[in-house]
Structures are given as C-alpha cells and as structure tokens.
Amino acid sequence: MEENRKHAYWIHQKKEAPESVKGYFYLPQCSCSNCGAEVNREKTVCPNCMALMDLEAPKEDE
C-alpha cells in the first residue's frame, strides 16, 4: 500500500552579496516548501513533514 506522501522542494535562503554578479548567493540553509521547516542542508525527505523533496524549485528570474 502506497503512503500518502507529499511532494515538495527546498527553498534556499539567499544572502546579499554586493560583490557577487547577481547581488546575492544561496545559503546551504533551506526551507521546506510544504511545511516551512528549516534545515541546514538539503535532504531527500523533509524531517518535519516527511514530504519527498523531488519537486523542482521554481526559478526566479525577473
């Protein structure tokens, strides 16, 4: 029997970096898109809500 497993992705935190071309860089810390739990590095499964982190994070280019 299949678990009713959620799917989510990691939202990486950004840090302002004026010396960088983009003006910021991504921190290893990231939050679960499903429950918002913060972890200090990407994991395959969210340790808080057990969502499977196999979704593609939406690109933000504006």
For binding to Zn ion (CB under 5 A), which residues are involved? 32, 34-35, 37, 46, 48-49, 51
Nearer to Zn ion, 16 or 44 (CB): 44
Q: 10 or 15: whose CB is closer to Zn ion?
A: 10
* Angle (CA) 7 32 47, round 5°: 85
Residue nearer to Zn ion on the CB measure, 23 or 47:
47
* CA gap 62, 9 in Å, rounded: 20
CB of 58 to Zn ion, least distance (A): 17
**Min dist. Cβ of residue 49 to Zn ion (A):** 3
Residues 44-50: contacts with CB within 8 Å, 24+ apart? 46/8, 49/6, 49/8, 50/5, 50/6
